[in-house]
């Protein structure tokens, strides 16, 4: 029997766990201004996460999906994208969204149960948060097909979790993208756990990046706690897509340092030692150590950054709390040109319920 095809999956890490370079770095990694901006958004995400969880615990926000531990992946992806590109997120990619112009108040408004939070002030064509698992992947492939048909030098980026790669929609989107060489990048955030299910119980695949092979497209793995490595891999994948060479799957290896959502209790299924070890590899500490080694970061700058981020978050909380409450009619708006009779009935029922409950 002869071998008809062979494949390999490349792995990239440019900063190790201690924040030390593992080899030559790209130019942006030696520019203090760019490092500071990536670290700023990562810190803003971390502090925002803490505030959002506190608001939820005190009944001032709905169920919330934390992003602690994912900051390097999210910001690295955002920093690599161009403004004209389109993002198709899942439901916790706040770092990418903040980089692209989504406001803190909009994130609060959405998780407060108000869809007006998805009416982004910045990236008007980015897709809203997607709670159904993997349905954002065909959306991204469809947007990418539109870009290709129009001859526009734009790319779509779709996020997917490790558990989401077990969904049929993920494979269908990859197949479409590969068959038509679409300008799309699928980013798998492999944080080790699909709620309570570890990766090893979801798939026998050695990597998730290798799932791209079946669709005839490249797959690459990157240290998702290394913001420089993520940005470099994404820049290459997006340049490839923009040049008409088709899609890429990027698997970012990271760790979820919090619960899946505020409705979850990860201590029930996750070993404590595993979490403690992950905190030693966390992305903010890694980038900070690297900047300190360049003498472009210190305790004074850290303190000032945290104070500034806290002020921004506090202002966003006030804006969220001052946002006029949406009427129950908003659930039925923008669905049909003429609302069907059964939805008219439901709208009237909702109005009566709202009056009775203030």
What are the pLDDT digits (tens) for 104-126? 999 999 999 999 999 999 999 99
Please state whether beta strands 10-12 and 86-88 pair in parallel, antiparallel, or not at all (unpaired). unpaired
pLDDT tens sequence across 8-67: 999 999 999 999 999 999 999 999 999 999 999 999 999 999 999 999 999 999 999 999
Residue 357 annotated as catalytic: no
Does one domain contain both 287 and 146?
Answer: yes
HEC readout, 264-306: CCHHHCCCHHHHHHHHCCCHHHHHHHHHHHCCCCCHHHHHHHH
CA dist 218 and 95 (Å) reads 25
Q: Which residue has the tokens 């009779």?
A: 341
Does one domain contain both 62 and 196?
Answer: yes
User: Is 131 within a domain?
Assistant: yes
Does one domain contain both 309 and 337?
Answer: no
Does one domain contain both 287 and 261?
Answer: yes
Largest CA distance in the chain: 75
Q: Which one of the listed residues 70, 100, 260, 286 is annotated catalytic?
A: 260
Does one domain contain both 247 and 287?
Answer: yes
User: Is 4 within a domain?
Assistant: no
Range of the domain at 156: 10-326
What is the helix (H) or strand (E) element at residue 206, kind and residue range? none
User: Is 3 within a domain?
Assistant: no
User: Is 193 within a domain?
Assistant: yes
Q: Which one of the listed residues 46, 70, 154, 256 is annotated catalytic?
A: 256
Predicted confidence band of residue 336 (pLDDT cuts 50, 70, 90): very high
Looking at the chain, the whole-number percentage of residues with pLDDT higher than 90 is: 95
Tally of domains in the chain = 2
Residue 111 pLDDT: 97
Mean pLDDT of 325-347: 92
Please state whether beta strands 197-198 and 193-194 pair in parallel, antiparallel, or not at all (unpaired). antiparallel
Residue 301 annotated as catalytic: no
pTM > 0.85 = yes
In a 3-state reduction of DSSP, which class is residue 212? Answer: helix
User: Is 5 within a domain?
Assistant: no
Q: If you ran DSSP here, which 8-state letter would residue 135 be given?
A: T
CA dist 311 and 213 (Å) reads 46
Say if CB 157 and CB 86 are below 8 A apart.
Answer: yes
In the predicted structure, residue 272 carries a pLDDT above the cut 90: no
Does one domain contain both 346 and 305?
Answer: no
Looking at the chain, the whole-number percentage of residues with pLDDT higher than 70 is: 99
Residue 269 annotated as catalytic: yes
Does one domain contain both 311 and 333?
Answer: no
CA dist 122 and 106 (Å) reads 10
In the predicted structure, residue 132 carries a pLDDT above the cut 90: yes
Please, what is the average pLDDT of the chain?
Answer: 96
In the predicted structure, residue 322 carries a pLDDT above the cut 60: yes
Say if CB 223 and CB 295 are below 8 A apart.
Answer: no
Q: Which one of the listed residues 30, 57, 116, 269 is annotated catalytic?
A: 269
Which CATH number characterizes residue 279's domain?
3.40.50.970
Does one domain contain both 310 and 337?
Answer: no
User: Is 345 within a domain?
Assistant: yes
Does one domain contain both 131 and 212?
Answer: yes
Which letter, b or e, does each residue of 234-250 get, where b requires 16 or more Cβ atoms within 10 Å of its Cβ? bbbbbebbbeeebbbbb
User: Is 2 within a domain?
Assistant: no
In the predicted structure, residue 358 carries a pLDDT above the cut 70: no
pLDDT tens sequence across 138-159: 999 999 999 999 999 999 999 9
């Amino acid at each position: 029997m002869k071998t008809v095809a062979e494949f390999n999956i490349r792995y990239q890490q440019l900063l190790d766990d201690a924040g030390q370079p593992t080899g030559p770095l790209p130019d942006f990694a030696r520019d203090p201004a760019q490092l500071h901006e990536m670290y700023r958004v990562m810190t803003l995400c971390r502090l925002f996460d803490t505030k959002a969880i506190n608001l939820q615990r005190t009944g001032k926000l709905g169920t919330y999906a934390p992003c602690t531990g994912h900051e390097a992946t999210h910001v690295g992806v955002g920093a690599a994208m161009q403004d004209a590109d389109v993002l198709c997120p899942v439901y916790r990619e706040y770092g990418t969204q903040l980089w692209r112009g989504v406001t803190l108040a909009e994130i609060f408004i959405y998780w407060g149960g108000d869809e007006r939070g998805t009416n982004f002030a910045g990236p008007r064509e980015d897709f809203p948060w997607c709670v159904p698992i993997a349905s954002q992947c065909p959306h991204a492939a469809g947007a990418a097909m539109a870009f290709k048909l129009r001859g526009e030098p734009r790319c779509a980026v779709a996020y997917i979790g490790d558990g989401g790669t077990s969904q049929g929609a993920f494979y269908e989107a990859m197949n479409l993208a590969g068959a038509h060489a679409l300008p799309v990048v699928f980013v798998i955030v492999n944080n080790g756990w699909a709620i309570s299910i570890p990766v090893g119980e979801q798939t026998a695949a050695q990597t998730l990046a290798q799932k791209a092979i079946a669709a005839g497209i490249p797959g690459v793995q990157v240290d998702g706690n290394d913001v420089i490595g993520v940005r470099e891999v994404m820049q290459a994948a997006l340049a490839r897509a923009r040049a008409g060479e088709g899609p890429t799957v990027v698997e970012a290896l990271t760790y979820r340092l919090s619960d899946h959502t505020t409705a979850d209790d990860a201590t029930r299924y996750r070993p404590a030692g595993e979490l403690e070890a992950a905190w030693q590899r966390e992305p903010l500490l890694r980038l900070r150590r690297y900047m300190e080694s360049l003498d472009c970061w210190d305790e004074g700058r850290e303190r000032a950054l945290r104070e500034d981020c806290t002020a921004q978050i506090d202002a966003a909380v006030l804006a969220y709390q001052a946002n006029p409450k949406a009427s129950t009619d908003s659930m039925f708006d923008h669905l049909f040109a003429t609302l069907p009779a059964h939805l008219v009935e439901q709208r009237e029922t909702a109005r009566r319920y709202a009056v009775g409950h203030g």
